Structure 1
């Protein structure tokens, strides 16, 4: 999974209304395909920059759980920082695409590595926290494009 980086192209993006709308110009664009728990290394030019993230996230497994909820996030700095791609839900349908429209600041990214992760709210049978043991049952995936200057 090698991210494709386009530099200094003067990329013009029509921003969705959910993140302010309008037209914006960016110097950098990065396309990434992410698989659950697999690290992706970002270019150093993204460190401490405001980023617009557009794309989609989905799960390859179904989840219908009455107690514990899962969310899907991008995490970095050993789970110390994150941005939600999809909020807590007790139900995921396999291969149903969920739109991602985010604007945020990565801050300082240690080792420039990010990871697609799942957070679990917890229940009698599931611990609270980053879902590293049984998150494979929903098996998140993401196809994202990042823009920044």
Structure 2
């Protein structure tokens, strides 16, 4: 499983590449292979040019993409994303959602995304709504014609 945290949870003294390769090193991946995969994954999220930058040297959107790369580098079957667009402007939120959608569509990764943003919810193929801890709706995109997202 991979985790995308709303608050990024990047290690401040590590570069983007080191933050992304850390989960691989923790499971015993050889350092050279971990670095190769980290760099490839950072390239995939559009940060190939920022691999040696520390979190404080990155914008919020770039930090979020490092967080996404860290979640994806191990090629998990499921990615859990807690408000992955919560700290981003609308343009960057669209880019993050495009990337998550691409991973789901093209690579078959399951993305479990928690959001309070109805515009984000409107973009997903399946929407499960909860209110006060109870399931109130479970609909697929094709069934949404009459479902209010707010």
Give me the TM-score of the superposition, normalised by structure 1: 0.24
Give me the TM-score of the superposition, normalised by structure 2: 0.24
Determine which structure has greater relative contact order: mean sequence separation of CA pairs < 8 Å that are 6+ residues apart, divided by chain length: 1
Structure holding more helix per residue: 2
Structure holding more strand per residue: 1
